[in-house]
């Protein structure tokens, strides 16, 4: 039974678990003195002497923190299969009344939000993905990190946007609550959740000319509708939703592409997550592209005259 316990927990067991199998303290001490087992903390023991795997370190964390401890946040998502997100600390939660113990390398969260059904039924004690993702977003170091975590969890099909929204329902107060709700709306509705009027408002606040919306282009073999375009400057902004691309790569690639091509291209690609978490960077790129195409920020009246003239001509041409 002892071997099966170690195998099930990636080579790690708690002292209380071993005692429950009939071993005595002196039995454990004998194995440690003989070098067959190794002490990993006051409460955790492994049956191997080398470095522990990531899964084994998770077991050490929950054993050391206490009997009601569970992986939570990003770590619980990683245990559920999340890839591509690096976090050095192991996140563990415990109910407020749980009397947790501290442990090196563990980020402990005492929570009043632990509900029956929050934990998965088998394997290492961990919070189910929807709850873990919401908490990871609330505990994240920045809004950008919070948005990435939620996006990656949905993209990797660990959880649905609907399940995240349901889990968010229990969060009544938090400084990041409004932001998380915006991201959840984006995950539900894609680009449509941002709204053309929201984007126009961002442009006004940044001192940019307001773009034309729902511009129809005749492609010869059909028509295409462009959501956002500055007709007089032949500049289109394509706002990319969360689908199809890895979230960190989406932002990095769009930023690099825009910086390299703003002098010659007529299309800028803007990830919706970038607009939520770092709008000034992308609005600055739009500003640069507009100036390179002749926009004069010091003489907006001239721009309005040009806008009116070109809008009239575009109506005639069917654009």
Q: What is the 3-state secondary structure (H, E, C) of 91-135?
A: EEEEECCCCCCCCCCEEEEEECCCCCCCECCCCCCEECHHHHHHH
Q: Does some domain include residue 61?
A: no
11 and 74 together in one domain: no
Q: Does some domain include residue 59?
A: no
Q: Does some domain include residue 60?
A: no
Domain boundary among 190, 216, 244: 190
Sign of CA dihedral 216, 217, 223, 224: negative
Q: Does some domain include residue 57?
A: no
| Predicted local distance difference test score (pLDDT) of residue 193 | 47
Q: Does some domain include residue 11?
A: yes
Domain boundary among 155, 174, 190: 190
Question: Which residues span the domain enclosing 136?
Answer: 66-190
| Predicted local distance difference test score (pLDDT) of residue 319 | 47
120 and 215 together in one domain: no
44 and 91 together in one domain: no
Instruction: List the CATH number of the domain containing 280.
Output: 3.40.960.10
112 and 209 together in one domain: no
Q: Does some domain include residue 6?
A: yes
Domain boundary among 190, 210, 236: 190
Tell me the whole-structure pTM to 2 decimals: 0.70
212 and 293 together in one domain: yes
d(CA 122, CA 200): 49
16 and 4 together in one domain: yes
Residue spans of the chain under pLDDT 70 = 189-197, 217, 219-221, 224-225, 241-265, 300-319
Beta strands, E only, 17-173: 38-39, 44-46, 70-71, 90-95, 106-111
234 and 302 together in one domain: yes
Q: Does some domain include residue 279?
A: yes
120 and 214 together in one domain: no
48 neighbors 11 (Cβ within 8 angstroms): yes
How buried is residue 219: exposed, middle or buried, by Cβ count under 10 Å (0-12/13-18/19+)? exposed
Q: Domains in the chain: how many in total?
A: 3
255 and 313 together in one domain: yes
d(CA 235, CA 290): 7
Q: Does some domain include residue 227?
A: yes
| Predicted local distance difference test score (pLDDT) of residue 191 | 46
| Predicted local distance difference test score (pLDDT) of residue 210 | 83
d(CA 188, CA 287): 30
247 and 261 together in one domain: yes
Q: Using alpha carbons, select from 57, 61, 66, 56 the residue that is nearest to residue 101.
A: 66
| Predicted local distance difference test score (pLDDT) of residue 37 | 96
46 and 73 together in one domain: no
110 and 169 together in one domain: yes
d(CA 318, CA 134): 47
Q: Using alpha carbons, select from 277, 296, 305 the residue that is nearest to residue 208.
A: 296
| Predicted local distance difference test score (pLDDT) of residue 279 | 87
């Amino acid at each position: 039974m002892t071997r099966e316990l170690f195998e099930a927990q990636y080579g790690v067991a708690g002292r209380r678990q071993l005692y429950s199998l009939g071993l005595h303290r002196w039995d454990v001490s004998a194995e440690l003195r003989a070098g067959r087992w190794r002490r990993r903390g006051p409460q955790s023991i492994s049956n191997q002497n080398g470095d522990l795997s990531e899964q084994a370190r998770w077991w050490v964390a929950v054993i050391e923190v206490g009997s009601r401890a569970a992986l939570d946040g990003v770590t619980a998502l990683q245990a559920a299969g999340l890839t591509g997100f690096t976090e050095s600390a192991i996140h563990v939660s415990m109910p407020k009344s749980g009397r947790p113990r501290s442990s090196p390398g563990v980020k402990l969260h005492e929570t009043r939000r632990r509900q029956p059904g929050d934990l998965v039924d088998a394997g290492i004690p961990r919070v189910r993905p929807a709850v873990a993702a919401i908490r990871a977003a609330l505990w994240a170091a920045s809004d950008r990190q919070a948005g990435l975590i939620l996006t990656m969890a949905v993209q990797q099909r660990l959880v649905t946007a609907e399940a995240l929204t349901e889990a968010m329902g229990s969060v009544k107060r938090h400084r990041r609550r409004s932001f998380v709700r915006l991201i959840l709306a984006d995950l539900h509705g894609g680009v449509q959740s941002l709204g053309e009027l929201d984007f126009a408002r961002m442009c006004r606040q940044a001192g940019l000319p307001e773009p034309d919306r729902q511009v129809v282009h005749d492609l010869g073999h059909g028509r295409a509708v462009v959501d956002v375009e500055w007709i007089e400057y032949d500049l289109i902004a394509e706002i990319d939703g969360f689908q199809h691309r890895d979230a960190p790569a989406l932002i990095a690639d769009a930023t690099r592409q825009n910086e390299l091509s703003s002098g010659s291209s007529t299309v800028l690609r803007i990830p919706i997550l970038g607009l939520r978490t770092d709008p000034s960077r992308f609005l600055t790129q739009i500003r640069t592209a507009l100036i390179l195409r002749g926009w004069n920020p010091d003489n907006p009246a001239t721009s309005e005259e040009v806008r009116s003239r070109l809008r009239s001509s575009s109506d005639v041409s069917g654009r």
